[in-house]
Every structure is written in structure tokens, then in C-alpha cells.
Amino acid sequence: MTETTDVVALAPRPRSQFVATGFAVAAGSMMMAGAIGWYMARRHQVSSPGLHGNWVPEGVAIPTPQLDYALLTLLLSVVTAHWALYASRRSDRGNTWLAIATTIFLGLAFINMVMYSLNRMDLEIGSGEWANLAFAVTGLSLALAVVGLFYMGLMALRSLGGNMGRVGSAPLGAAVFFWDFVALAWAATWYAVYVVK
Amino acid sequence: MIGIASRYFAGRVALVTAAAVVLGIATGMDGDGNVALYGVIVLGVAACAFALLAGLALSVGDDDSADRERHHRHPTTPAYWPLMSALGLGLLMVGLVLDGIFTIFGMALLIVAAVEWTGSAWADGLSSDLEANAVARDRLLAPFEVPLYGVLCIAVPVVLVSRVLLASSRNGASYIALAAGAMVIVIAFTFSAKPNLRRSIVATVLAAVAAVVIVGGIVSAAVGERDFHPLEEENESDEGHEEGAAALPDLSPSSEKAQLESLS
Amino acid sequence: MSDITTEATDLSTTVPREDPTPFGWLNTADHKRIGRLFIGTSLMFLGLGLILDLLVRLDLTDDSDFVALDADTFGQLFVFGRESLVFLFLIPVFLGLAIYLVPLQVGASNLAFPRAGAAAFWGWLVSAGVFVGAYAGNGGPYGGWDDGVDLYMLALGGMVVSLLIGYIAVATTVLTERSPGMFLDRAAPFAWSTLVTASMLVVSLPVLLGQLVILYVDHRYGHVFLGGNFGIWGRIDWVVKTPTMFIYLVPVLGVAAEVVIATARRRVLEPLAMYFTIGLVGLFGFGAWMNFSITNEGSDLGDGFEGVVLVALYGGAALGATALVALLGFALFQSRKSLKLGGLNTSVLGVLGAGKFVVAAALYGLLGAGVDWLEIAGRGNDGNPYLRDTTWATGQQSILIYGAGLLGLVAALHWWAPKIWGRTLNDLLGKLTLLLIAVGATLASLGPALSGLLYDQPDLAYLDPAQTSLYAEAVDGGGAEAMAWLGTAGLLVVIAGALLFMLNLVVSLVLRNGTKADSDPWDGAAPEWMLDSPPRPGILDALPDLDSGTPLLDMAEAGGDEQDAAEEVKV
């Protein structure tokens, strides 16, 4: 049951989704800080000069080129995501959809590459402290990527429904903002776990 | 003009950054380079997070909202998606630890809830005519909803009830199946016999049945399947237990043939 | 009582009707219903937390034997009790109040994301169910069922995520859905305190999530380096300890400011200072970075630095809380002539008491941190445990949860019950409740605090929690049992107060014996008092454009100015 008066088009909301996504990004950053901070602190303790410890187990070959390509793929997906936003703000439906589809494809390729790299390391989870920490931090980063892709997909649905133009692209803008954060989170993980090691 | 929230968040950036620097320097001065890295990293990222919040507050104008329009009342239609997503989260948790099938159900529920939620949110913002919004929403989502929900309404109860039956003893499973069937018949008969029954009563009964099935299925899955013995072992143990009981005549075709051959 | 009525703003939008049947509570998108769900459910979980705390304290009354529990269950229930009081009561109940009130106070028609608010409640409730179920199945830290420990960690993560979603929805409402012309520094104090709480929780609690992921992976796959079931609590207990606990009590300060401004019928001396002091307490609650037990980091210099920082943190919190209580107290003092003694109702007394308990907790922390720092910096570590590792910490937690949190909640519900449920609570019962809780909280905190200070009684032996109950060898004197009895007696008094409060709620609201309230029974200042009591669920709240969080006070002041001007003219 509803009370109906004149039908009016509703004005868009002032950046609510963007602000909420911003809060979520702040929360996600702190989550990664807790995990990467723990990793770096333990690494520092175990492998600092005074302790002469081994941090990365011997025999573990980290597939550096593959992980570098994964990062590049992700960075490229950030570019395509911003392309999607740019096109959406200009109500260019064709380019918007092409860019979103490319972003999602590149995102899936990134996840695939990271999973492949983890398999290539031939490291079993539970085999040691470094393994567990590396898997946990990497898994957290991948989980953020999955959430980011899903968010992008949902906002793509809204674009399909006509949310375009300078103001109507706010939801897609929020999703792109989150995707930027996902890239940053992975970059930090890649550097801490697979470069600094 | 910078508003109070932006100033407050910016002040936090300064304080937390200073704390990170002081912590790093102070703990790094002990000669071993044993810097409190965890603390420094958390404080450093917190400073960035506060800076982000300060930027957000600035961008939406926490000081001067005079130009903010109030025509953004978006009526939000009631929906079950939040409850569904919570149930999906619960199933996901249980599944990650106990049984992978619940993880799949949980993920599926979360995905469906998220898609439905997005569709409803999009439709709510179309116009002030709720009925027209509902039609637009259905046009977008119904082609996915109808077949999916149809399959789910069959598959989910089947899987959950199967868990209950598998966890029960052999006789117990029979009794449960009989009782469930009888209950379905009784409920269906009652509903059909009383067409004017209040909607709330029907919904309550169905919800109670669904809750029993879901909880029973999850608990049964956690308990696990009963032990299934191979048929020969069961027959041997059955024969061992049947003291004094006359053996039933073997009426299988092969035994009949053997008996005929022996007679001839 | 004011007689303000408002003309409904023309809503040229259709309004979806909420389902009036009980099923309407399952699919609601109305922030008023969501708020009430949070408040009601949290109050039920309060009972669980109190019982668990009581069982643990009973066991501490005998230093060489178990009384109520045993070696297997003591550790689990110790942790379960602390977490229940924080994650099942303290945080969600004030979130519920915020979800109900903040949209009304900023002039919004609903939460920024109503379905997110609903998802926050249902997610929290389902996670709480899994949380309690995990403990019931012998899970949780120190549990015997490995899967139960894993379920506990996932459930705790689920609760944290759900509560964060709720607070993000409220914070977004404050930032983006304010009425045009309402500057944030003129917003209602409770709305501002909610924004502070939300921003601090967003920065603190996700650190716990990151830690939980690492703990979960290590626990699930091999128990490699974190000590298995016994290695979890020591790494995440910072969320139920100070300084992080100050963040959970920031809404109480907002409640205090609301009640006092309305009662005194005047603004505080320096309104910006009021916002600043509330923010200061929140800021100095940021303790997520101090989890040195994760890495055992810190040399003596590090400990010394940590000691200085702790002193500064608690000092800042004490300064903020003291300044706020002083500002509010001064406002009441300035109105003493117009304020009748009967005007000091349950809410006013409650918030003044709660504010003082926050100050007391900060001073507790300051004293403890100062003593610890002097140990290191002045005389060197002589082997005595740090005060913060003794039951001194339990004393501080008790004063925050019961003294500030529960007392503040009683005050808040007495104040807003007319608006939320349409009926006032019994004031005499309320004052009796305040007395019991205040006395009980004082004793419940004093006992453990003195035991830690005088007898070095340890708080929790992380690697063998049963030793916490069998502390005969670990204490420095024979008076620890008496202190434990003092603390237990105090908790029993708190429980009596809580039961009296529940009785008040049942009699006044459920049995409808409370006085039916009009729209503004307290001569309030904030916008919510311009609406019906209670505002009908499912209906967009018809508030006019607001340019401040105290429109009724503005109108009263404007009316007073006009009257003064008219009298001047007559003269």
C-alpha cells in the first residue's frame, strides 16, 4: 500500500555512496596494516642481523616475474576502471561497458596469475611460519580483490540500468575508488611479502 | 572554510604521524635496530586513513551545507535482502569450518542477496512512483529470479533433509521421512480446507517449518553421516542376532533354479 | 513542556508502508525499527555477560581452588565474559541508539543506507549466534574443540564487520544527509559523538580483522607458530582493554551533553570546546598499534617509550573527559536558579555519574601507566609485574563497562524512552537503579584494582588460564581473596541494578504502565523532540529544514529575546 501524489524524478544523493566507500577503504587499509604489520614485525625479528634467523624457508622459489606481471595487470585494470568512469560521466554507454568488461577481465586474470604463482611456489600452507603468514596476507589481499570485482560488477548493473552522466556515475565512481584501493593493497602485499621477503 | 570534522581528522593525522615517527626513532635507538615495526606501520597507515577521512569530510562540505538540496529523499522499500545476506554469512562461516557444501550455499546466498539488493536500490531511485519502480525492477531481475528461485526451492530442502536422513539411524530416517510426509499432507490439507486462513498464520507456519529444516540440516551436517556397513556384514550381523528365529525361505530366482536342479 | 508542532514538509514522494505484522521486523528498512532491534537484543545479551563475569569472579574468591568453574572452562568463560560485555552489549546498544536518533537529529528522512543498517543488525545477530554456539560447543580461546575455535574467530570477525557496517552507515548519514544550513559544528552533540566513535572504530577494529585472519590460518593449518588454542587471546585482548575501550564510551559523552544542554536550557560556555573534548577522548582511545604481544617487540627503551605514550594517552583522555564534565557541570550550575531539584531526573543524574566514571577510568589508567613507567624509567624493572598486567586492568574495565557504559545507557534510555517507545520510565525506579549500579560498579572495580595494586594479583595467565584462579603462589599478600569478594559483591549489586532496570522497562513499556509521553516531555533541545512520540515506523520523518542540532533551544532563545525586546519597549 502506498500513498501516491505526483510522480517526480528523484534527485541523486550527494555522494553518500562515495563517502561510505571511503570509510570502507579506511577500514580495509587498517585491516591490511594489521596483517602486513604483523608480517613485517615477525620478519624483522627473525631475520634481523643480530638473530641470524632464516625467514623464507630454503628451497622456496618465489615466482617473481609472474607476481610482477600480476601487479602490472592490476595496475592496467586501474587504468581501464578510470576509463570506464570517464566514459560513464560522458554518458558514453558503449565505452563504459567495454571498459568495465575489460576491467573485470583483467581483475580475473590478476587473481588467476596470483593463484598460479602460489601453486608454483610448491609451498604447503601450514609448513612454517613464513608460509602461514604469506598465505594469510596474500589471501586477505585476494579477498579484497574479489570483493572489489564484485562491487564493480554490481555497479556495472546499475550503469546498465541507466545510472550515467556526471551525477549518475557516482556509484561507479565509488566502485572505481575501491578498486584503486585494492590495487594499492596488493602493491603493499607484493612489496612486503614477495620483494622484501 | 574548513569545517570541524575536517579539522578534527587533520589534527589526528598530525598527531598520529608524530607518534609513528617518535615510536620509530625511539625504538630504533637501542642499537639492535629493533624498531617496533608493527606499531610504526599501524600508526603510519592510520595517519593515511585519517587523511582520507579528512578529505572525505572536506569534499562533502562539513562546514557549509547551505547548497545541499533536500530533494534526495529516497524511499527505501522493505526487503528481505539484509536478512538473506546475514544468513548467507552464517552459512559461509559454518561451511568454512565444518562442511564445504555450506560454504557454497552461503556464497550463493550472499551473491543473490547482493544482486537483488543492488537491483532494488537502483529501482528505488528511479522515480517517486513505487509501483512503476517495482515494475522496472522486475523487468530487470525477474528473468534471473524465477528460474533460480524455482531451482533453489527444490534443491535446498532436498539437500537439508538429506543431511537429516543421513545423520539419523536407519529406522530413524524412515520415521523422519514418514513424519515429514505426513506433516506436509496435514499442513497442505489444513491450508486448502481453510481458504480464509490469515496470511500471517500461513507465513508463521511456513517460516517455522523452514527454520526447523534449516537448523536440522545444519546440525545434522555438523554431526555427520551415520556409519554405513557393507550389505554382507549387515546380513552376517543380522543372522548372528536372530537367535531361534526361523530362517526365511530364499525365494530368489537363482535359489529357485538350484532347488529345481536338486530335485531333478 | 513545550508545545511545538511542525508542519509536515510537503513530501512529493510516495512512501512505502512497512509491514505492520511481526514479519515487518524481518524486512524493515526503517531506521527506527532497526535501532529498536539493536537495543532490545543487546539488553538481552547484557544478562549473559553479567552471569559470565559473576562466575569468573566467584572463582577468584578462593586463591587455591575453583569455586564455580574448573580448569577447563575458566579460561574460556573469562574471555567469553569480556567479549560478551563489549561485542554483544556495549558497542551494539549504542549503535542501536545512534541508528534510531542520528537521522532525526540531522534532519534526514532515514539512514543513508537503511538496508545496510538492517544488514548490520542481522549480520551481527547471526554472528553472535555462531559466536555463542562456538563457545557452547567447547570452542573459543582455550577451548578443546579445534573447529569451535575456528568458528569463534570467524564469528568474531563477522560481528566486527557487521558493527562496522552499521557505524559507517550512521557516519555517512551525519556527513552527507544533514539538513541544508546545518553546519557540523552546530549538529547535535550525540550525532557528533557518533561520528567520532564511527571514525575511531573504522580505524581500530579492522586491525583486529587482519590479526584474526592470520590467527585463523595458523590455527586451521597446523598450529605452526601461534600456540594453538592457547595462543589466541593474548594477541587480540587489546580490543577489550584500555585505551581502546574509551572509544566504546564516547557515545555516553554525547548523551551527557544532550541531556545537560536540554535540562539547563542553555548552551555550554564554549560549544566548540564541547565537540573538541568529546573528540579528544575518542582520539586517545586509539590503542590498536600497541599490541606488542604480537611480536614481543620492545627493549627497555621501547618499554620506556611505551610507558610515556600510555601516560600521554590516559592523560589526554582524562583531560578531555574532565573538561567535558566541567563544561556540562558549569552549564547546570549557571542554571541553578531556574533548575528545580525535581529537574534532576534519572537521566541528568545518570549522565553526570557516567561522565565522572569516564574521568575515573582515565585517572585509573593514568595512575597505572605512571606507576609502570616509573618502575622502568626511575628504578628499573625490579621483576614486579606491570600494574596493567594485574587485576588493576580488570578494575579499570569494570568501571568503564558498568560505571560509564551501563550507567550511561540507563540515563540514555530514560531520556529517550518517551521518543522511542512513547512512554516514560519510572523515575524513582530509575534513581534506585542508578544508585545500585554506581555503588556496585565502584566496588566491582575497587576490589580488583586494590588487589592488583597491593598484592600484585595477576589478571590472566595467558598460557595457563587456570593459574589465574589458583593465584595463591602469585600474590604478595593474603588480602587478595577479600578484595575478590569485594569485587564480587560489587558485581552482585550491579546485577541487582540491572534487574531493576529490566523490571522498569518491562513494567513501563511492555506492560504499558509508563506514563504516555507527548512529543516533548523534557523540554528538549534537539530535533527529535519535534516529532510525535513515538514517530510512526515506516513513515518518512516530517522534519522541517534545520540549521542547528538544537532548534528547540534556538526557538526558546529567540522567543526570550523577543520578549526582552518587547519589555524594553514597554519600559
Cβ contact B62–C184 (<8 Å): yes
- Mean pLDDT confidence for B94-112: 90
Q: Which of C9, C174, C225 to mutate to test the interface with A (most CBs of A within 10 A)?
A: C225
List pLDDT tens digits, range C191-208: 999 999 999 999 999 999
d(CA B9, CA C337): 39
Contact with chain A for residue C176, Cβ under 8 A = yes
Cβ contact B97–C23 (<8 Å): no
d(CA B182, CA A82): 60
Q: Number of B:C CB contacts under 8 A?
A: 197
CA atoms within 13 A on the CB side of C439: 11
Longest dimension (CA), chain C: 89
Cβ contact A30–B46 (<8 Å): yes
pLDDT of residue C402 exceeding 80: yes
List pLDDT tens digits, range C262-297: 888 877 778 888 898 999 889 888 888 876 666 655
Q: Number of A:C CB contacts under 8 A?
A: 123
List pLDDT tens digits, range B149-196: 888 788 888 988 998 999 988 888 999 999 989 988 998 898 888 888
CB C79 within 8 A of CB C233: yes
CA of B215: how far to CAs of B100, B222, B226, C69, C122, in Å?
17, 11, 18, 30, 17
List pLDDT tens digits, range B1-31: 678 888 889 999 998 998 888 888 877 765 5
Contact with chain B for residue A38, Cβ under 8 A = yes
d(CA B203, CA A102): 45
Q: What is the DSSP string of C536-558?
A: PTTSPP-PPP-SSS-HHHHHHHH
The beta-carbon neighbor of B52 closest among A14, A26, A154 is: A26
**Quick one: cell of C14?**
510516495
d(CA C571, CA C568): 5
Chain A contact partners (≥3 CB pairs within 8 A): B, C
pTM comes to 0.88
Q: B214 CA to chain A: closest CA distance, Å?
A: 27
CA of C255: how far to CAs of C43, C201, C402, in Å?
18, 18, 16
Query: Which residues numbered 155-184 in A keep a CB inside 8 Å of some CB on B?
Result: 155, 157-158, 160-161, 163
In this structure, which amino acid lies at residue C218?
D
CA of C358: how far to CAs of C88, C90, C318, C323, C354, in Å?
21, 14, 8, 12, 6
Residue C57 phi, psi (nearest 5): -65, -35
Cβ contact B30–C301 (<8 Å): yes
On chain C, the residues whose CB falls within 8 A of the CB of A6 are: 12
d(CA B19, CA B11): 12
d(CA C148, CA C154): 10
B125: nearest CA in chain A? A10
Q: Which of A1, A2, A159, A184 to mutate to test the interface with B (most CBs of B within 10 A)?
A: A2
Q: B83 CA to chain A: closest CA distance, Å?
A: 19
pLDDT at C546: 80
On chain C, the residues whose CB falls within 8 A of the CB of B64 are: 183
d(CA C162, CA C178): 24
Interface of A with C (CB under 8 A): 1-6, 8, 10, 13-16, 19-20, 23-24, 26-38, 41-42, 45, 125-129, 131-133, 135-137, 139-140
Average pLDDT, chain B: 80
- Mean pLDDT confidence for C83-88: 96
On chain B, the residues whose CB falls within 8 A of the CB of A48 are: 32-34
On chain C, the residues whose CB falls within 8 A of the CB of B66 are: 180-181
pLDDT of residue C6 exceeding 50: no
What SS3 class is residue C392?
helix
Cβ contact A8–B127 (<8 Å): yes
H-helix or E-strand spanning residue C15: strand C15-16
Contact with chain A for residue C295, Cβ under 8 A = yes
pLDDT at C404: 94
Cβ contact A126–C13 (<8 Å): no
CB C119 within 8 A of CB B86: yes
Q: Return the sign of the alpha-carbon dihedral for residues C59, C62, C63, C69.
A: negative
**Quick one: cell of A129?**
611460519
- Mean pLDDT confidence for C510-516: 90
CB C397 within 8 A of CB C53: no
H-helix or E-strand spanning residue C16: strand C15-16
Q: C203 CA to chain B: closest CA distance, Å?
A: 6
Cβ contact A22–B128 (<8 Å): no
CATH assignment of C28-570? 1.20.210.10
pLDDT at C571: 42
d(CA A129, CA C228): 13
Domain with A103, as residue range(s), is 16-42+64-195
Return per-residue pLDDT of chain A as tens, 197 residues: 444 445 666 666 668 889 999 999 999 999 999 999 999 988 887 776 554 456 788 778 888 899 999 999 999 999 999 999 999 999 998 999 999 999 999 999 999 999 999 998 888 888 888 999 999 999 999 999 999 999 999 888 888 777 788 878 888 999 999 999 999 999 999 999 998 87
Cβ contact C207–A6 (<8 Å): no
The beta-carbon neighbor of A40 closest among B33, B41, B73 is: B41
On chain A, the residues whose CB falls within 8 A of the CB of B126 are: 9-10
- Mean pLDDT confidence for B189-208: 83
Cβ contact B48–A29 (<8 Å): yes
The beta-carbon neighbor of A38 closest among B38, B129, B132 is: B38
d(CA A191, CA A48): 18
On chain C, the residues whose CB falls within 8 A of the CB of A25 are: none
CB C241 within 8 A of CB C529: no
A184, part of any domain? yes
Residue C390 phi, psi (nearest 5): -100, -175
C540: nearest CA in chain A? A3
pLDDT at C562: 58
pLDDT of residue B245 exceeding 50: no
Cβ contact B39–C199 (<8 Å): no
Q: To 10 degrees, the CA torsion angle through C508, C509, C510, C512? A: 70
CB B94 within 8 A of CB B33: no
pLDDT confidence tier of residue C379, bands split at 50, 70 and 90? low
- Mean pLDDT confidence for B112-128: 84
Q: A69 CA to chain C: closest CA distance, Å?
A: 26
On chain C, the residues whose CB falls within 8 A of the CB of B76 are: 16, 29, 110, 114-115
Radius of gyration of chain A (CA): 20
The beta-carbon neighbor of C214 closest among A23, A26, A133 is: A133
Average pLDDT, chain C: 86
Cβ contact A22–B56 (<8 Å): yes
Cis peptide before C206 (omega within 30 of 0): no
CA of C494: how far to CAs of C30, C311, C358, C392, C431, in Å?
34, 30, 17, 19, 14
Cβ contact B97–C150 (<8 Å): yes
pLDDT at A42: 86
